Structure 1
Amino acid sequence: MRNLFTILLIFITSVSLYSQDFDYRNILKKSIPATKDMSVVFNFKNTTVRIEESNDGKLHLNYALEFKGYSRKQIAETLEKISIKTAQSNNHITLEVNSNKAIQLINYSVDNEDKLLFKPSNTSIKTKTDNDSVVRISKDSLLKVIQRNRTPNPEQFLQQFTFFKGNDRNNMFNEVSSKRVDIMKSKFIIKIPPFIKLNINAENSNIYFGGEIQNELSISQTKGKLNVEELRNLYNNIKLNNVLSFDAERILGGTYNLKSVYNSNIASISQTEIKSEFSKIEIGEIGKQTKITDFNSEYWFYNWSKDFDHFGLFSEYSKIHLFYPKTNHSMKVIGNNTKNIIGQNFVANLQPTKTGEKYTMMTKDPHPGEALSGDIYFDIVHGIIYTHEDSIKKINK
C-alpha cells in the first residue's frame, strides 16, 4: 500500500518569542522506523539541511524556522512558499522539500526603504603583487577554514555592510547590526541510520553532513554548497555541477565528479577517485590510493600522508601547485606541451609534438635504504606544474 501526503504549512505550531525574541515555527517533525533493506531519496530545491547519523535505528526528519523582526503576515507568506512532501511505499521513502527562493542557514532582510551596501575593510581586500608566492598550508589550517565556513556568525557577517536610504548612498548609517536587520534561521536536521542507502538530488541547496557518515551515498547536486565532516564509503558516488563550494574535512572512498566547482577545500582524502573539470580544489593531505582525472582545473597539493602508497594524476589543460612529500617517495611525470615552473627562477618546457606523443619530463628516485611512503605519477598534457620547495633530482627536458 502506498501512502502519499503533503504537509500543509497553514497548520503549523508556533512557540512565540523563543530564544532572544525569535518566533519559532515547527514545519516538519517525523520519525520512521528503518530496516536494512530500506532505500531513501531526498529531493531538495532552495533548501539548507544538515544530515547526521541516527543511533536509534530510526529516520528522523525535523524542520523548523526561527524568525526575528518578521510580522505575522511576513511569516505566513514565507511558510506558504515552502512545499514539503513525503511518500512511503514498502521499504522506500521519498522526501521532497521545495522553496520558491533560496533558504540559507541564516537569512537577512531589511525594510523596503533601506538598502544594504557591501563595504569591505581594507584588510579584506587582497591585491596581487609580483612578489606573491604560494605557501604550504597545513591540514589543520585547512580544517579551520572548513569549520569556519560551516558556522556563520551573524554579527561578523553584518560588519561587512552599511545601510543607506532609498537611492541616496550619501545618507548611510555607520553601523549594521543584527538588531536592525530582520533574521530568519533555518534548522532542518535529518538523522539517518548508517545502514540505509541514501540518494540525494539537490538544486541550489546547501547540504551539511555532520560527524562520520558511513552510508552509501549517491548525490547529484547543482548549485549551492556541500560541506561534510567525514564521508566514509567505498561506493559513494558524488556528482557536483556548478556548485559554489565543496568543503570536506575527510573523504575516504568513492568517486567524485566535480564540474565547475568554484571553491573546494578538502582537508584529507584517501582511497578516492576525483573526476573534475573547470574547478578550483585545494587538498590539505593526500592519503592512500588517490586518483585524479582532470580537464582545465587548478589544484593545490599541500601535504602527503606517511603511507600514501600511490597517487595518480591524469590531466589536460590543468594548473597544478605541487608541494613534495616530506618523507621518502618516488615520482615520475610524463606529458606533452607542458611547462614546469620551479620556484621563481627556473622553467622547464616540454614542447608540443605533432603526433601528441608523451615524453618523460621529470623523475625522482626514492632514497635507498629508507621506508617508501609512496610513488607519484603525473600524466599531464597542455598543463602547468608549479613546484614549491623543490627537491627534484633529475629533470628531462
Structure 2
Amino acid sequence: MNNKPYKVFLLLVFFTVGLTAQTEKKYQKTFYVTEKTQLRFQTNNIDVTFKTWNKDEVKVDFSIDFKNYSEKEIKNISDNVIVSARMQSSMDDTSFLQIENNSQTSIGRLSYQLKSGEIRLENLSWDNDSEKKHKSVSDIHREIDTSDDGFEDLDGYVLFENGDKVPLKDIDNSSNKQILSIRSQYVVYVPKYITIDIMADNATITFDGTFTNVIRGNFKEGTLQAETLQNEHNNMAIMNGNLKVKEISGGRYMLRNISNGLIGELENTMIDTEFSKISVGEIKKNVKFRDFKSKYFFYNLGENFESIEMFCEYSDINIFNEKKQHYYLEAYGHDAILNDGGTKIVAQPSRDGKKSKMFTIGKDDSETRKNTFKLDIVHGFVTLLYR
C-alpha cells in the first residue's frame, strides 16, 4: 500500500507554568478524524489513559508536574520527552494518525525520588492463602481498583539523615525539599468508532470506561488495565507485565510471563498463556484457553457458561464450584492429578504419549452437557474447591 503523507506535525511544544519548586509542563493537540481514520499509537516509558467521547476528534492532553526539582533537572527530563505525530492517507481514502511518545525517564502517574534518607515500612503482612479462598466478581474488581495503591498507602515513614520523619501517608503534601516527585497525566480522547493499534513498552496503558473499539496491541514490561474491553476483533499480546481488566468480551489475548493477571468477567474469548498467573472472577460463557506452565484460579463459573475448553501442559488449574451447580467436565490427557475436594485421582504417564479419557465429573446427559468443560491436560494439576 502506498501511503501519501498529507500533514506532518512535530509535537512536544511544552509550555511551562511556574519556575519555582512546583513546575508544570503541558502539551495539548487536537486532530480531526473520520470513520476511515485509524490510530497508531506508540509509547515508551510514558503511562497513558484512553477515554472515548462523541466527537470526530482525537485529543492529546499531556501534563507533567515537577516538585522540588531544579530548573536544570526539569530541563534535562523535559528535553528527553519526545512526542511526535503525523497523518497519512492511502489510496483507498483510509487515513492513519500516528502518535509516537518516548522518554528516557519513566513518566508515570506519580513517582518519588529521595535526595537523602531512607524508607522504612511497618506492619507488613501477606495472606498467602488468599488465592485459595473463594472470591466474587466484586472481590476481583476491588483488587483491581486497589492494586495501584502506592507506597504512600503503606504503613511507614521516610527517615532523613537529620532525624526528621515524614509519614508515607503525608509524603505527597510534605514540604521537605529532599522529596522529589513527578506527577503526570496523559489522556488521549478518541471517538468510539476509531480502530486503535498500540505498541507500549514499560508503560501502564489504561482504557477508562467501556471500549467497543477494535484494539490491537503489543505490550511489554508494563500493565494493561481497563474497565470493559468488548469487541470480537480485539487482539492483544502482553509480555512480562500485568493484566487488570474488569470485563473482557470477545477477542484474543496472548499472555507471557504475567505476574498478576486479574480478570473480573470473561466471555467469548480466546486466552493463550505461558508462565503466568491468572485469576478470573467469573467465566460467563464460551471461553477457550491454551496454556503452558501457568497457574489459573477460576472463582466462579457462569450459570449457563455453555462451553469452556482448555488445552494445557504443565498447568496448575484451580476451579471453585458451587455444590448445586451442574455441568459436565471431561478430562483427556495423561500424567495429571485431580484433587476433588480432598480425593485424589492420579492419571499415570503414558509411555507412548497418547492421550486418553482420564476422568469425568457430572452426569453424562443432555441437560448437564448444556454446560461442558473440556480439559486436555498433560503433566498438570487440577484442583476442585467447593463453597
* Shared fold per TM-score greater than 0.5: yes
Tell me the equivalent position of 2:203.
205
Of 143, 146, 164, the match for 1:145? 143
Q: Render the CA deviation track for 1:97-130: whole Å, top value 9, x for unaligned.
A: 000021211111121xx143352424x24467xx
Query: Structure 2-normalised TM-score?
Result: 0.89
Q: For residue 66 of structure 2, what is the amino acid of its counterpart?
A: F
Q: Render the CA deviation track for 1:284-336: whole Å, top value 9, x for unaligned.
A: 00011100000000000100222211101110000011112553222111220
2:275 is equivalent to residue 278 of structure 1: yes
Tell me the equivalent position of 2:180.
182
Name the CA distance, whole Å, in 1 between partners of 2:224 and 2:133. 26
SS of the equivalent of 1:337 reads strand
Is contact 2:81–2:102 with CA below 8 Å preserved after alignment? Answer: yes
Let me know the Cα RMSD of the aligned residues.
2.5
Tell me the equivalent position of 1:323.
320
Tell me the equivalent position of 1:74.
73
2:192 is equivalent to residue 194 of structure 1: yes
Q: Which moved more, 1:364-373 or 1:272-281?
A: 364-373
CA 1:17–1:80: 2 relative to 1, 3 Å: closer
Alpha-carbon shift at residue 17 of structure 1 (Å):
9.1
Alpha-carbon shift at residue 83 of structure 1 (Å):
0.8
Stretches of structure 2 that go unaligned for 5 or more consecutive residues are: 90-94
Q: Which moved more, 1:351-360 or 1:233-242?
A: 351-360
Of 222, 225, 242, the match for 1:224? 222
- Give the share of equivalent positions with the same residue, in percent: 25
Q: For residue 251 of structure 1, what is the amino acid of its counterpart?
A: I
Equivalent runs, 1:151-190 vs 2, <5 Å: 152=149, 155-157=152-154, 159-165=155-161, 173=165, 175-176=167-168, 177-178=170-171, 179=174, 180=176, 181-190=179-188
CA 1:135–1:29: 2 relative to 1, 3 Å: same
Q: For residue 15 of structure 1, what is the amino acid of its counterpart?
A: V
CA 1:118–1:229: 2 relative to 1, 3 Å: farther
Alpha-carbon shift at residue 360 of structure 1 (Å):
2.0
Alpha-carbon shift at residue 241 of structure 1 (Å):
0.9
Q: For residue 273 of structure 2, what is the amino acid of its counterpart?
A: S
Equivalent runs, 1:1-397 vs 2, <5 Å: 1-9=5-13, 12-16=14-18, 22-26=22-26, 28-90=27-89, 91-111=95-115, 114-122=116-124, 124-126=125-127, 134-150=132-148, 152=149, 155-157=152-154, 159-165=155-161, 173=165, 175-176=167-168, 177-178=170-171, 179=174, 180=176, 181-243=179-241, 245-325=242-322, 326-343=324-341, 345-366=342-363, 374-389=371-386
Alpha-carbon shift at residue 366 of structure 1 (Å):
4.3
Tell me the equivalent position of 2:92.
none
CA 1:354–1:144: 2 relative to 1, 3 Å: same
Name the CA distance, whole Å, in 2 between partners of 1:190 and 1:133. 35
Stretches of structure 1 that go unaligned for 5 or more consecutive residues are: 391-397
Give the aligned length: 371
Is contact 1:277–1:295 with CA below 8 Å preserved after alignment? Answer: yes
CA 1:384–1:368: 2 relative to 1, 3 Å: closer
SS of the equivalent of 1:271 reads strand
Query: Structure 1-normalised TM-score?
Result: 0.86
Name the CA distance, whole Å, in 2 between partners of 1:110 and 1:199. 37
Name the CA distance, whole Å, in 1 between partners of 2:373 and 2:35. 40
Q: For residue 208 of structure 2, what is the amino acid of its counterpart?
A: G
Name the CA distance, whole Å, in 1 between partners of 2:182 and 2:202. 18
CA 1:278–1:118: 2 relative to 1, 3 Å: farther
Alpha-carbon shift at residue 30 of structure 1 (Å):
1.1
Name the CA distance, whole Å, in 1 between partners of 2:363 and 2:30. 56
Is contact 1:162–1:174 with CA below 8 Å preserved after alignment? Answer: yes
CA 1:337–1:54: 2 relative to 1, 3 Å: same
Q: Render the CA deviation track for 1:12-49: whole Å, top value 9, x for unaligned.
A: 3233399xx853321x2111121111111111100100
Is contact 2:328–2:368 with CA below 8 Å preserved after alignment? Answer: no
CA 1:358–1:118: 2 relative to 1, 3 Å: farther
CA 1:211–1:319: 2 relative to 1, 3 Å: same
Q: Render the CA deviation track for 1:325-367: whole Å, top value 9, x for unaligned.
A: 5532221112200011233x43211000111122222212349
SS of the equivalent of 1:121 reads coil
Name the CA distance, whole Å, in 2 between partners of 1:54 and 1:203. 26
Tell me the equivalent position of 1:395.
none
Name the CA distance, whole Å, in 1 between partners of 2:376 and 2:12. 55
Tell me the equivalent position of 1:393.
none
Q: Render the CA deviation track for 1:120-145: whole Å, top value 9, x for unaligned.
A: 424x24467xxx88111111000011
Is contact 1:333–1:363 with CA below 8 Å preserved after alignment? Answer: yes
CA 1:144–1:86: 2 relative to 1, 3 Å: same
Name the CA distance, whole Å, in 2 between partners of 1:363 and 1:223. 40
